[in-house]
């Protein structure tokens, strides 16, 4: 739902600095470890968030020191002191001239799309994105106050206030130019032998937390034993959003690649290289990245956890990359004693070793300079920031205008100090009553799933028993973590934006690496509290709903039950169903990758999933590009299962609370309770996307476009057809319905 998460690889969520900062755009650089399933695209993190949303990255300053005339209307923008209220079912968002049995999405969202054109600083716009921006605007006020106030702040408030203040100080950032790159460029220039590469790379990884630098390295739960946290070495090394960005042969993809090469050359020119040298360097980088792309798994392959599970010892790791001294690398990052590693893509590491061997050191230095500059551009002077925005946001995603500085700075605070910021948010925006209500609904949805599993006619008692064990073991996390992250070792200085960003990366890298070999912390969250999104993590076997997503219009305590159960009930059901989607079902109650299905039941499941694959493959994303329905399968299964569970939970609530139920047949806003349930559901998904962004999403986003997350479900729900009295033969009635859960 919201902006963009979907299910994203878990780590995306947590690390990714490059992303962080720069983030917004290249989710391609994330590592895929685990299958972190965001409801909307994730923001994954936040960063991701940003990116998904298509937000422009944190671009630079549109307003350099000069007159900040950049964005029209920007002058009028002010922080919000309260949240604007939008009802959970908004009749103004509907288009009543549309026939719900012909195009339900248009009926429920037509008004929203008409009244909410995509803002110039966004790649897409949606109900989730708008709510996320409302949260940002509210946080802006808090941060502005904390940045000005030098007294009476606690330690966390000092950090987020000073971070925000430094980020907003464009004059100081401009004055430093590209100077923050200097220490890194000196180290790269000093690379005299391939023997020095491991230690150099280790230092760059610690400071930049960017898997775009050849590969990624961090911690994650062992697929085979979820109680253990082990080291993961993951594929990376790319600047474009996906491996396919390098491989597709159509004219549009070729044009994007040519513009990417031009962008790399422009960046080298900004660094002082002359034009012809910059061209040669850019071509070289593109060549290297293309080789790495060819050796990378596709996104569909990465959805298969078995393809990412290759445990090796130190000798096995070393054997993959002769010539690259892992012992030196590990010592430099403080992990010299590690003996167990999961190499998610061994073929990638073998290709990397070949690349290092065949290249001269000059090529390696060029590649590293590019990626360090790319990673840090949003934290440098406006010339770098603008160049970065022009390619990654404007060219790649169609964004017309850089986001105002305040938005980018709020997003970065959320990214690097999210749980400190989250405490401020939760204290003001999330009441214990709201938490209790959300938990009540969550338990009802879980109860519905219990009944649903029992009622399946295609599943054997043995498999049902295991499914029930898994369901019973799922942990519900609502609102915010029980234990807040300790940022005391992260030094934030006033007036030092780039330094704060780099120290934040190093803090996060060290925090992540420190988990290796330690007992698993089950209380950890992969999203920050203000995030408008939700996720399921199969290894933790938990569902997570940050405070940011439990607000109107998504969850509206003032509204009747029907739209709330359609919307938030559907979202809770969605996350729960992820535990049993095509990926999630491969993990057991303990979060281990272990097959608990009988052969026959697995076959029955796959047949039902294939029905969904075939259905969504018919839908068009943009131009002649159809949904890659093997990539979106998990989300499509979760959407359908989730809404069925939301429906069951709502019926249960009505049965148990007859005094609160709207009398049958009595319409409100001209809609019956059943119709309100479906319109309430659909209105989380109202959105518009730029065509450029849709092209990127067709490659990278495991979620189907909003129109199909609505209409694709309705055709499979007899309850919908009954609620709107749709007739056989109408577009919202499918002859052969799909159902998995």
CB of 612 to Zn ion, least distance (A): 14
Listed ranges 131-139, 169-177, 637-645, 649-657: which one lies at the site for Zn ion (CB under 5 A): 637-645
Stretch of 262-270, 312-320, 486-494, 635-643 lying at the interface with Zn ion (CB under 5 A): 635-643
Residue 138: CB minimum distance to Zn ion, A? 26
When the beta carbons of 320 and 640 are compared against Zn ion, the nearer one is 640
Angle in degrees, CA 427, 167, 515, rounded to 5? 65
State in angstroms the smallest separation of the CB of 269 from Zn ion.
Answer: 42
**C-beta of 236 vs 546, nearer to Zn ion:** 546
Q: Residue 49 CB, nearest distance to Zn ion (Å)?
A: 15
Nearer to Zn ion, 37 or 485 (CB): 37
Of 173 and 627, which has the nearer Cβ to Zn ion?
A: 627
Using an 8 Å Cβ cutoff, are 109 and 93 in contact?
A: yes
DSSP character string of 34-78: SEEEESSB--TTHHHHHHHTT---S---SS-SS----STTGGG--
Contact segment (CB under 5 A) with Zn ion among 37-45, 122-130, 215-223, 256-264 equals 37-45
Nearer to Zn ion, 401 or 632 (CB): 632
φ and ψ of 210, to 5 deg = -120, 110
Binding mask 655-684 for Zn ion (x = CB under 5 A): ------------------------------
Contacts of 412 (CB under 8 A, 6+ apart): 20, 21, 58, 163, 167, 501
Only segment of 377-385, 633-641, 664-672, 722-730 that touches Zn ion (CB under 5 A): 633-641
Q: Closest residue (Cβ) to Zn ion?
A: 37
Q: Can you tell me the distance from the alpha carbon of 670 to that of 704, in angstroms, rounded to the nearest whole number?
A: 30
Question: Which of these ranges, 4-12, 19-27, 438-446, 460-468, lies near Zn ion under the rule CB under 5 A?
Answer: 4-12
**Total residues at interface with Zn ion (CB under 5 A):** 5
SS3 236: coil
Q: How many CA atoms lie within 13 A of 142 on its CB side?
A: 27
Between the alpha carbon of residue 366 and those of residues 244, 296, 372, 675, 730, the distances in Å are: 23, 21, 10, 59, 59
Q: Which is nearer to Zn ion, 563 or 702 (CB)?
A: 702
What is the nearest approach in angstroms of Zn ion to the Cβ of residue 585? 14
Q: Is the bond into 39 cis (omega within 30 degrees of 0)?
A: no
| Least Å from the CB of residue 571 to Zn ion | 9
Tally the residues of the chain.
741
Nearer to Zn ion (CB atom), residue 412 or residue 631: 631
Closer to Zn ion by CB, 191 or 638: give it: 638
| 39 vs 124, beta carbon nearer Zn ion | 39
Residues of this chain, 5-34, that bind Zn ion according to CB under 5 A: 7
Stretch that binds Zn ion, among 352-360, 476-484, 588-596, 632-640 (CB under 5 A): 632-640
Q: Which is nearer to Zn ion, 133 or 537 (CB)?
A: 537
CB of 534 to Zn ion, least distance (A): 8
**Distance (Å) of CA 310 to CA 306, 403, 538, 592:** 8, 41, 18, 15
- In the complex, what is the shortest distance from the CB of residue 577 to Zn ion, in angstroms, rounded to a whole number? 8
Residue 100 CB, nearest distance to Zn ion (Å)? 25
How near is the Cβ of 387 to Zn ion at its closest, in Å? 34
Residue for token pair 């919908």: 720
Token pair of 542, please? 């938990």
| φ, ψ at 528 (rounded to 5°) | -85, 160
CA proximity to 395, closest of 42, 47, 57, 48: 57
We find the least distance from the C-beta atom of residue 220 to Zn ion, in angstroms, to be 20
Could you give the C-alpha distances from 591 to 34, 223, 227, 450, in angstroms and in order?
A: 11, 8, 9, 19
Interface with Zn ion by CB under 5 A: which range of 38-46, 251-259, 385-393, 452-460? 38-46
Binding of residue 37 to Zn ion (CB under 5 A): yes
Provide the minimum distance between the beta carbon of 605 and Zn ion in the complex, in angstroms, as a whole number: 18
Closer CB to Zn ion, 165 or 702, in the complex: 702
Q: How far is the CB of 13 from Zn ion (least distance, A)?
A: 13
Rounded to whole angstroms, the Cα distance separating 614 from 29 reads: 30
Judged by DSSP in three states, 276 sits in helix
Nearest distance in Å: CB 526, Zn ion: 13
Binding segment (CB under 5 A) for Zn ion, from list 10-18, 39-47, 132-140, 495-503: 39-47
Q: Which stretch binds Zn ion (CB under 5 A): 35-43, 52-60, 190-198, 488-496?
A: 35-43
Joined together, the tokens standing for residue 314 give: 């130190």
Q: Which span sits near Zn ion by CB under 5 A: 3-11, 155-163, 253-261, 302-310?
A: 3-11
Q: Considering the complex, state which of residue 269 and residue 574 has its C-beta at the smaller distance from Zn ion.
A: 574
**Of 613, 609, 641, which is closest to residue 626 (Cα–Cα)?**
613
Structure tokens at 206: 């610690």
Decide whether 235 or 640 has the Cβ nearer to Zn ion. 640
Query: Nearest approach, Cβ of 146 to Zn ion (angstroms)?
Result: 34
Number of Cα atoms under 13 Å in the Cβ half of residue 564: 23
**CB 643 → Zn ion: shortest distance, Å?**
13
User: In degrees, to the nearest 5, what angle opens at C-alpha 293 toward C-alphas 292 and 295?
Assistant: 65
Q: What angle do CA 607, 610, 611 make, to 5 degrees?
A: 95
Q: Select 414 or 635, whichever has its Cβ closest to Zn ion.
A: 635
Residue closer to Zn ion (CB basis): 368 or 638: 638
CA-CA-CA-CA dihedral for 32, 216, 16, 380, to nearest 10: -140
Which of 625, 628, 633 has its CA nearest to residue 694?
Answer: 625
φ, ψ of residue 216 in degrees (nearest 5)? -115, 150
Residue with Cβ nearer Zn ion (3 or 207): 3
Give the position of tokens 């109202």.
686
What is the C-alpha to C-alpha distance for residues 624 and 409, in angstroms, rounded to an integer? Answer: 37
- Choices 185-193, 617-625, 629-637, 715-723; region in contact with Zn ion by CB under 5 A: 629-637
| SS3 sequence of 258-274 | HHHHHHHHHHHHHCCCC
Instruction: Name which of 167 and 576 has its Cβ closer to Zn ion.
Output: 576
At which residue do the structure tokens 């716009």 appear?
125
Kindly state whether residue 263 participates in binding Zn ion, applying the rule CB under 5 A.
no
Tokens representing 630 are 């093997």
Q: Which stretch binds Zn ion (CB under 5 A): 36-44, 244-252, 585-593, 647-655?
A: 36-44
Nearest-approach distance from CB 467 to Zn ion, in angstroms: 19
Long-range own/partner contacts, residues 252-255 (CB < 8 A, 24 or more apart)? 252/695
Structure tokens at 595: 């097959």
Q: Is 4 in the site for Zn ion (CB under 5 A)?
A: no
Decide if 210 contacts 16 (C-beta within 8 A). Answer: yes
Residues that bind Zn ion (CB under 5 A): 7, 37, 39, 635, 638
């Amino acid at each position: 739902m919201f902006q963009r998460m979907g299910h994203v690889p878990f780590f995306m969520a947590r690390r990714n600095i490059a992303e962080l900062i720069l983030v917004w755009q290249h989710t391609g650089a994330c590592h895929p470890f685990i299958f972190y399933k965001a409801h909307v695209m994730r923001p994954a993190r936040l960063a991701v968030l940003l990116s998904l949303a298509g937000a422009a990255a944190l671009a630079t300053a549109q307003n350099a020191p000069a007159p900040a005339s950049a964005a029209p209307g920007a002058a009028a923008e002010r922080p919000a002191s309260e949240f604007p209220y939008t009802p959970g079912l908004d009749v103004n968002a509907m288009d009543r001239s549309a026939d719900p049995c012909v195009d339900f999405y248009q009926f429920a969202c037509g008004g929203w799309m008409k009244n909410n054109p995509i803002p110039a600083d966004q790649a897409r716009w949606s109900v989730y994105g708008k709510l996320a921006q409302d949260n940002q605007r509210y946080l802006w006020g808090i941060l502005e106050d904390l940045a000005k106030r030098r007294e009476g702040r606690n330690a966390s408030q000092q950090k987020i206030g000073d971070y925000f203040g430094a980020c907003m100080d464009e004059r100081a950032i401009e004055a430093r130019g590209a100077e923050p790159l200097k220490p890194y460029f000196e180290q790269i220039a000093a690379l005299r032998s391939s023997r020095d590469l491991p230690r150099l790379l280790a230092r760059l990884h610690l400071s930049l937390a960017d898997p775009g630098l050849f590969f990624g390295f961090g911690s994650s739960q062992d697929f085979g034993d979820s109680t253990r946290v082990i080291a993961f070495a993951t594929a990376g090394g790319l600047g474009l959003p996906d491996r396919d960005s390098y491989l597709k042969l159509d004219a549009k993809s070729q044009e994007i690649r040519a513009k990417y090469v031009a962008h790399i050359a422009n960046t080298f020119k900004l660094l002082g290289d002359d034009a012809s040298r910059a061209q040669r360097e850019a071509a070289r980088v593109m060549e290297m990245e293309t080789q790495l792309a060819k050796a990378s798994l596709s996104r569909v392959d990465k959805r298969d956890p078995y393809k990412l599970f290759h445990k090796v010892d130190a000798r096995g790791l070393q054997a993959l990359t002769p010539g690259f001294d892992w012992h030196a690398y590990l010592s430099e990052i403080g992990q010299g004693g590690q003996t167990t590693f999961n190499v998610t893509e061994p073929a990638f590491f073998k290709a990397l070793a070949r690349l290092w061997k065949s290249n001269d050191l000059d090529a390696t230095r060029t590649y590293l300079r590019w990626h360090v500059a790319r990673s840090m551009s949003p934290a440098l002077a406006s010339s770098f920031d603008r160049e970065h925005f022009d390619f990654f946001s404007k060219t790649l995603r169609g964004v017309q205008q850089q986001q105002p500085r305040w938005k980018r700075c709020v997003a970065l605070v959320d990214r690097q100090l999210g749980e400190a910021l989250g405490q401020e948010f939760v204290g003001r925006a999330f009441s214990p009553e709201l938490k209790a209500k959300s938990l009540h609904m969550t338990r009802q949805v879980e109860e519905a799933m219990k009944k649903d599993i029992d009622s399946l006619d295609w599943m054997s008692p043995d498999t049902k028993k295991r499914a029930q064990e898994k369901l019973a073991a799922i942990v519900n996390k609502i609102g915010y973590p029980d234990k807040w992250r300790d940022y005391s070792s992260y030094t934030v200085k006033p007036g030092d934006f780039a330094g704060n960003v780099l120290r934040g990366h190093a803090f996060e890298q060290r925090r992540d690496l420190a988990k290796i070999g330690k007992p698993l912390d089950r209380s950890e969250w992969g999203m920050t509290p203000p995030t408008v999104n939700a996720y399921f993590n199969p290894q933790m076997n938990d569902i997570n709903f940050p405070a940011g997503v439990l607000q109107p219009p998504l969850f509206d305590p003032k509204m009747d039950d029907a739209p709330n159960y359609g919307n938030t009930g559907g979202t809770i059901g969605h996350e729960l169903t992820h535990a049993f989607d095509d990926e999630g079902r491969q993990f057991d109650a303990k979060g281990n990758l272990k097959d608990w299905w009988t052969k026959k039941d697995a076959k029955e499941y796959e047949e039902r999933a294939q029905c969904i694959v075939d259905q969504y493959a018919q839908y068009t994303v943009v131009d002649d590009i159809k949904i890659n329905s093997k990539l979106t399968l998990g989300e499509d299964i979760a959407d359908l299962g989730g809404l069925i569970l939301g429906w069951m939970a709502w019926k249960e609530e009505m049965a148990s609370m007859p005094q609160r139920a709207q009398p049958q047949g009595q319409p409100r806003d001209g809609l019956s309770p059943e119709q309100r349930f479906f319109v309430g559901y659909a209105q989380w998904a109202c959105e518009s996307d730029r065509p450029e962004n849709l092209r990127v999403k067709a490659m990278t986003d495991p979620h189907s476009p909003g129109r199909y997350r609505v209409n694709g479900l309705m055709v499979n729900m007899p309850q919908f057809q009954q609620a709107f009295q749709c007739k056989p033969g109408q577009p919202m009635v499918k002859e052969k319905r799909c159902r998995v859960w």
